[in-house]
Structure 1
Amino acid sequence: MNQMDEVGHSTFLRSKQTVTVAIDFLNWLTERRIILAELQQAHLDAWQAEGPTTRGIADRFLKWAIKTHTAPPGLKMVPHRRGTSPRLSASAQDAALQQVVHTEQLTPRDRAAAILVIVFGQQIERVAALTWNDVTADQELVTVQLGTIEIGLPDPLDAPWRQLASELGHGLTAAHPNSNWVFRGTSPGRHINPGHLRQRLRTLFSARAARLGTLHELTKLAPVPIIAEMLGYSPATIERHATDSAAAYAEYIAAVRT
């Protein structure tokens, strides 16, 4: 992380969780008067059996403890598997989208951001960093470029974007003169903090659960290369979601022919 030009919010949260789970593990051992030097496989098995699957993240700490000879060698912990995070079901996604389109709880800016998450499975960090170079709004159509292709937003998805475009110059301040950010932040010249935006959307849905649910469903409708190109994801990332949803390119071709 020290070598990164900018640490993303997701990277920070993963590192924070690693430390938090390691602390919880050590507290669990302390409560049972177990020191690392006397750690046994039975202790590790009990630790994981008594709690959620995220306890497996402590395997990173365990590997370090073994490498530094703080814990006995040969101990193993079942690592936490990616892809076990909760995701919104298809019905929950539809309900969330209806709220986004018709709610008065959110500002046009928040509604615009929510649409990119719930409809196009975008990460909050990427949504927060959008500029008006990525958006086109004319009388006929509103488009947003997320990957290499401009995606058209039909009615009513275009409504908050049209409102933002019509008020483009109204939000300019001394801190944001001639700002090109779609979602301006409170710091001069910066876009909105992704964590702050994520918290604003939490009144309707969890941004992560919504994004994972959307990608899960999209992989049932189109082949991996097309989704990756349109939404700005790597094919490998979309392939993981496709595998999880039991989608395959051959199934897509068969459906089209039918």
Structure 2
Amino acid sequence: MPRPRKPSDPAKWPEPCGRCSGHHQIVVRWPDSGICGYCYQQAKRTRGTCACGHEGILPGRVNALPACRKCSGVKLNIDCIGCGNEDEIHSGNRCWACVLAATVARLLTPKEQTSSPELQAIATALKSMKRANSGLTWIQQPHVTAFLRELAGSPDISHAGLDQLPASATREYVLGLLVEHNVLPRRDELNTRFTNWAGQAINRVTTQNHRDVIRRYIRWHHQRRMNQMDEVTQGTFLRAKQSVTVAIELLNWLTEHGAELTAITQAHLDRWQAEGPTTRGIASRFLDWATKTNLIDPNLKLQPHRRGTSPRLDAATQQEIVQNLTHTTRMSPRDRAAAILVLVFGQQISDVVKLTWDHVKVTEDEVTITLGTVEIALTRPLDEPWRQLAATPTHDQTAAHPNSDWVFRGGSPGKHLRAASLTERLSTAFSSRAARLGTLHELTKVAPVAIIAEALGYSPTTIERHAIDSSANYAQYIASLTLPRNHAR
């Protein structure tokens, strides 16, 4: 990604750049004009085929078209002495890719022993990155360098071996690389993380009796459920942590007030809930389990969370935001594509980030996206950011996503973007939750529950709740049941 340009400053730099016409510092003079630092960097990375047939870097200009050094008369060192290719030079007359390869070899080659197949595989993956400057920038961070050296000295390159190394984001990233490049078998990382977290959380319980209760709650409720899933989702992981944390708070509160869980009363629950934040209502999940396992009186209840109190965007505000999205250049195409799914189709962020290119079809005539079981066509100009994404794929530029098919790929190897990250990015324009609720509220006024649920991938119960809230009258829409399902818009 090119670095952002500072504002043009004619007072400080009177001479305009011959390429961009902006007033920035002129760093080099070539036959066509003086070139600013931004355009100089861009010129060193411009690849293509010159009019003379030369393929490689085209830093110069001839008749306003990119041209090779010979045709344009530009003097520029782009000849790597390592690989012999034309490329941007990093240092020592070597290109970024050659410096990256040398750095990787130095860090991942154990002293006085042969590199293991596992280390060789990860080294090959890092060396082959198409965006070598990104890889080198990452590796040269002191904490990454230190971790890779420690990894090279580890006698056991396995899940168990890596788990013994100090926990860090770098460890998780390298582990993801090893899995994505088939060095290590795939495992459910969130399940593993919850197990490790839970083992430490149990120690926060202040009495042995309550510690045994929490251990059973974790093992027979949360871990059993996770073990039955194909893959634990981020939402399941976070809800489980939250449920256990609140349950521990309740048990420790009971201990402070001289009570055991088995002797808890409604007065205890009312006082505990009244004294703390609204998140204490989450303890109802733990109490439901305690009731099923005959630990407490089944008549004990916490005050339920009130539904329907979340704010939602009105139709006029949503239309204004959608209109702005089709013209703005402040948001990336990827963020605008996600925003359209939330604002127009009421999609949850947790579902948006899981979209793959198998769900999206881009042709000259239309762009379609499969939501739920229905293929929905995007009308212009809503299809524009999706066309940009399809035309400029970037998932194969680093070692993290060698075979990724995610539309919204994330920073972790082989993983999609985290829902929380996308929510935060969209928050500069609107609240994704308020937008989604507003869209569903409006849709239930103009279409039957069954069609909305099937088209957008929701359960009928969820859409029914929104329909009741919006006081929709469905009788007048019976005719819409005959609409072709694959042409929902």
The answer, yes or no, to whether TM exceeds 0.5 is yes
Cα distance, 1:164 vs structure 2: 0.9
User: Which segment is superposed worse, 219-228 or 193-202?
Assistant: 193-202
Question: Residues 35-68 of structure 1: CA distance to partner in whole angstroms, max 9, x if unpaired?
Answer: 3356432232234445665533222333455667
Alignment of 1:22-171 (within 5 A): 22-26=247-251, 33-36=257-260, 39-49=264-274, 54-65=279-290, 73=297, 76-78=300-302, 80-81=304-305, 83-84=307-308, 86-90=310-314, 91-168=316-393, 170-171=394-395
Cα distance, 1:5 vs structure 2: 1.3
Q: Report the equivalent of 2:232.
A: 7
Q: Report the equivalent of 2:456.
A: 231
Q: Report the equivalent of 2:408.
A: 183
Cα distance, 1:167 vs structure 2: 1.0
User: Which segment is superposed worse, 243-252 or 141-150?
Assistant: 243-252
Whether the aligned pair in 1 keeps the contact of 2:354 and 2:406 (CA below 8 Å) is yes
Whether the aligned pair in 1 keeps the contact of 2:312 and 2:433 (CA below 8 Å) is no
Rate the CA distance shift 1:103–1:80 in 2: closer, same or farther, 3 A: farther
Question: Residues 75-106 of structure 1: CA distance to partner in whole angstroms, max 9, x if unpaired?
Answer: 52235357446242315534543454444442
2:322 maps to amino acid: L
In structure 2, the gaps of 5 or more residues are 1-225, 481-489
Cα distance, 1:116 vs structure 2: 0.8
Cα distance, 1:112 vs structure 2: 0.6
User: Which segment is superposed worse, 59-68 or 185-194?
Assistant: 59-68
Cα distance, 1:9 vs structure 2: 2.5
Whether the aligned pair in 2 keeps the contact of 1:99 and 1:204 (CA below 8 Å) is no
Q: Select the residue among 239, 243, 262 that pairs with 1:18.
A: 243
User: Which segment is superposed worse, 172-181 or 143-152?
Assistant: 172-181
Cα distance, 1:137 vs structure 2: 2.5
2:452 is the alignment partner of 1:214? no
Question: Residues 175-195 of structure 1: CA distance to partner in whole angstroms, max 9, x if unpaired?
Answer: 434543222233444332333
Q: Report the equivalent of 1:172.
A: 396
Rate the CA distance shift 1:177–1:88 in 2: closer, same or farther, 3 A: same
Rate the CA distance shift 1:192–1:67 in 2: closer, same or farther, 3 A: closer
Whether the aligned pair in 1 keeps the contact of 2:395 and 2:404 (CA below 8 Å) is no
**Higher Rg of the two aligned structures:** 2
In structure 1, the gaps of 5 or more residues are none
2:475 maps to amino acid: A
Whether the aligned pair in 2 keeps the contact of 1:8 and 1:125 (CA below 8 Å) is no
Whether the aligned pair in 2 keeps the contact of 1:53 and 1:80 (CA below 8 Å) is no
Rate the CA distance shift 1:9–1:215 in 2: closer, same or farther, 3 A: farther
The residue matched to 1:119 in structure 2 has which SS?
Answer: helix
> Matches of 1:68 and 1:112 in 2, distance apart?
46
Rate the CA distance shift 1:75–1:149 in 2: closer, same or farther, 3 A: closer
Q: TM-score, normalised by structure 2?
A: 0.45
The residue matched to 1:122 in structure 2 has which SS?
Answer: coil
> Matches of 1:6 and 1:87 in 2, distance apart?
32
Cα distance, 1:163 vs structure 2: 1.1
> Matches of 2:431 and 2:258 in 1, distance apart?
38
The alignment's C-alpha RMSD in Å is 3.3
> Matches of 1:149 and 1:69 in 2, distance apart?
45
Whether the aligned pair in 2 keeps the contact of 1:172 and 1:179 (CA below 8 Å) is yes
Q: Report the equivalent of 2:465.
A: 240
> Matches of 1:253 and 1:54 in 2, distance apart?
42
The residue matched to 1:18 in structure 2 has which SS?
Answer: helix
2:244 maps to amino acid: V
> Matches of 2:306 and 2:372 in 1, distance apart?
24
2:412 is the alignment partner of 1:194? no
Whether the aligned pair in 2 keeps the contact of 1:36 and 1:70 (CA below 8 Å) is no
Whether the aligned pair in 2 keeps the contact of 1:56 and 1:77 (CA below 8 Å) is no
User: Which segment is superposed worse, 211-220 or 54-63?
Assistant: 54-63
User: Which segment is superposed worse, 145-154 or 188-197?
Assistant: 188-197
> Matches of 2:385 and 2:352 in 1, distance apart?
15
